[in-house]
Amino acid sequence: MNQPVSHKADGLIRFRIDLSYDGTDYWGWAMQPGIPSVQGELVTALTTVFGESKDAFGMRVAGRTDAGVHATAQVAHIDLNPAQLKRLGRSIGMVGKLNDLLPTDIRIHSVTEAPKGFDARFSASYRRYRYRISDGLSTKNPLKARYTLWLNHELDLLAMKAASLELFGMHDFASFCRRKPNATTIREVRDIQIKRNPLEENIVEVELLADAFCHNMVRSIVGALIAAGEGKASPDDVAEKLAKRTRVGSYKVQPAQGLTLIEIGYPADDELEAQAERARNMRTLDEN
């Protein structure tokens, strides 16, 4: 491999990892003692290759997916020192070594030296998720049951699209999120697409793009859209719930298996640090 260049004052070299996984058998991304997680499997493989790390190799991820949620385009970063890199020996890269150590439901697609200022989480400018629903007009494919919510009745996509318009833009999504201490629930939803895919058993695909998502936000929004598609919620109902900023009486958080992280967006290399600085600042609606 080419001689890596240190981008950090302490001599560490940062690497970007692009990966995908089937989240069915994991309790989400984040490591937890005694519980299988995607991050835990990665750290175990990294430890075998590079030795023990007190801080999990400084790993940070673009989107901390919940238990059972999948990803086709996850991004993480790790920091390695020159001594750790020497353990690779004459290898031209670490992708093959790590994939040999990982379970088959987690695959690393690339490991590249990160540009200066790159942070997998804070440098990201948007995330895109897709939720798959097999409704009354869809063919139930058992081979894709791990990745699809099954409903027996038909959904009204026009009603779902009308309700989705109430969620565009910068809002406090407290009604659609599980709150965390010292964390904001203000997010900017930039795009929502709802369509039926004739090439995929006629399933309904709901795609959401936002600068970031808080805990359970996507699955709660999908719950609101399903309620609209069933005739149980109007656009005004959704707007009213958004304005209340409380989870009390809000829409059902839909099952995890239908949700997949499909894209992480980053700005140009010379804008990575500025984007990370903006993302670290606590937002309020008064400032936007």
Using DSSP, state whether 84 is helix, strand or coil.
Answer: helix
Long-range contacts of 53-58 (CB under 8 A, 24+ apart): 56/31, 58/12, 58/14
Amino acid at residue number 97:
K
- C-alpha 205/C-alpha 24 separation (Å) is 19
Considering 18, 22, 66, 135, which one is annotated as catalytic?
A: 66
249: how many CB neighbours lie within 10 A of its CB? 8
Residue 191 appears among annotated catalytic residues: no
Closest to 60 measured CA to CA, from 82, 42, 85, 33: 42
Q: How far from 158 is each of 165, 193, 202, 206, 234, CA to CA, in Å?
A: 11, 11, 16, 13, 11
Closest to 65 measured CA to CA, from 96, 33, 22, 103: 22
In angstroms, what is the C-alpha Rg of the chain? 20
- C-alpha 70/C-alpha 24 separation (Å) is 7
**Which residues does the annotation mark as catalytic?**
66
